[in-house]
Each structure stands twice: as structure tokens, then as C-alpha cells.
Structure 1
Amino acid sequence: MEFILNLLVSAGVIVLLAYAMPQVHVKSFLTALWVAFLIGLFNATIGWLLRGVLNLVSFFLLEAIVSLIVTAVMIKVVDKLVGNFKVDGWWPAFAIAIATAIALALVGWARGGDEEYARLESKPKLEQYFAQTEMLDVTTYRIA
């Protein structure tokens, strides 16, 4: 369900930017849906490799910027593959990448994405196990 929602939001952003920016051309919402799917597919397959290489070069200091650059590259790749979708230049591709990232972040936040991060801040599973069984107080026997 989350994948479909993200796909619809991404397609909506592409259509809205096509109306707002003269450098972005998309024929219909179905074309925008197909473009959003391809961008997601390429980001999941090729994009992770590009992100990994660029993050190693930048020493993880610019991870968000690297992600936007890779997404803009994927948008330009999809631009060449889909006939009914055209992005004239790199700045509109960056605008689509930024707007999509903001929209997806807002949707994730509105759907309660904080719960996902709250789980990350909880105790590690080993500490939870020992706390439940009361076999060992992990806090006093930590190894530095």
C-alpha cells in the first residue's frame, strides 16, 4: 500500500511541475505514473550503486545531496526512454527530485513515519532479551 501511495504522490508531483514549469512536459497522468514507476525502479537498481560510489567519494558528508543528484540523473535517463515525458535541462530535473523528496517526506510524516524512527531508538534486541529474562544486567557488564 505504501508503494502505491508513493507512486501516486510522485506522479502527482510530476504532473504539477509539468503545469508549473515550462521545461517539464508530460502527456497524461498515466505517463507520469509510468515515469514515477521507472524512476523508482532505476533508483532501486542502478541508483543504489551510484549512491554508494558517490557517498564513498564524498565521505558520507553530503548524503542527501548525493541522493538528489542520483535521482536527477535517473529522471534524465527516464526522459530519454519515455517518449511522452520531456525534461529540458538539469535544473528542472533537480526541481523534480527536490519536490518529490519533499512530498514523499511530508506524506511519510503525515502517515506516522515517526513510529518507524522510534523503533530504531529502542534498546537492541540482546538487551531486551536479557531484560526480559533477568539473567544478566547488561548495563553493568558492558564491554568498552
Structure 2
Amino acid sequence: MNFIINLLVTAGVIVLLAYLMPSVHVKSFWTALWVAFLTAIFTATIGWILGGVLNLVTFFLLESIVGLIVTALMLKLVDKLVSNFKVDGFLPALIIAIAVAIALALVNWARGDNRDDYARLDTAKLQTEQLLASNNALLK
């Protein structure tokens, strides 16, 4: 279900940016959905390998920036493969990647997909407090 929602949000962002940016051309929403699907597949396969290599070069310090660059590169690859989708240049592809990342983060936040992360943080905080309390009891 998350994959379908992510595809729909990504396609919506692509269509919206096609209306806002003169350097992005999409024929229809179905084309944008196909572009979103191909970008997701390529990012999960080719992009994963490319991201791993680039992250090794940056020593994992710029992981999110590398992720955006890899997504932009995958969009340019899809641009070459899909005839009804055109991105003129790398900068518009990077802007699409940033907009998609922000939109997906907002949708995931609104859906409450990060509750498990907060639960893990609360558990870690509780364990740390218990550890500190037991260390203080030993020191007294």
C-alpha cells in the first residue's frame, strides 16, 4: 500500500512541476505514473549500487544529498527511455527529486508512518534513564 501511495504522490509532484517549470514536459498523469514507477525501480536497483559507490566516496557524510543526486540521475535515465516525458537539464531533475522527497516526507508524516521511530526513541530514552539510575545507585 505504501508503494502505491508513494507512486501516486510522486506522479502528482511530477505533473505539478511540469505545469510550473517550463523545462519539464509530461504528456499526462499516466505518463507521470509510469515515470514514477520506472524511477522507483531504477532507484532501487541501479541507484542502490550507484548510491553505495557515491556514499563510499563521501564516507556516508552526505547520504541524503547523494540520495537526491541518484534520484535525479535516475529521472534523467527515465527521460531517455520514456518518449512522453522530457526534463531539460540536470537542475530540473534535481528540483523534482527534492520536491518528491519533501512531498513523500510530508505524506509519511501525515499518515503517521514514523510512529515506530518515536517508539524506538522512547524505549532508548527509558533504557538510558534506567541505566543512569542504576549507575547512580551503584555510586552511592
Task: Structure 1 unaligned segments of length 5 or more: list them.
Answer: 128-138
Alpha-carbon distance in structure 1 between the residues aligned to 2:71 and 2:15: 17
RMSD (Å), alpha carbons: 1.6
Taking the aligned partners of 1:114 and 1:75, their CA distance within structure 2 comes to: 27
**Same amino acid, percent of matched pairs:** 69
Shift in CA distance, 65/119, structure 1 to aligned 2, threshold 3 Å = same
Task: Name the counterpart of 1:42.
Answer: 42
Q: Hey, what does 2:63 align to over in structure 1?
A: 63
Query: Any unmatched runs of 5+ in structure 2?
Result: 128-133, 136-140
1:127-138 alignment, distance < 5 Å: none
TM-score (norm 1): 0.83
**SS of residue matched to 1:116:** helix
**Aligned partners of 1:69, 1:109: CA distance in 2, in Å?**
23
Secondary structure, counterpart of 2:93 in structure 1: helix
1:118 deviates by: 2.3
Q: Structure 1 residue 120: deviation in Å?
A: 3.5
Aligned to 1:25: 25
Find the aligned partners of 2:102 and 2:59 in 1 and give their Cα distance.
24
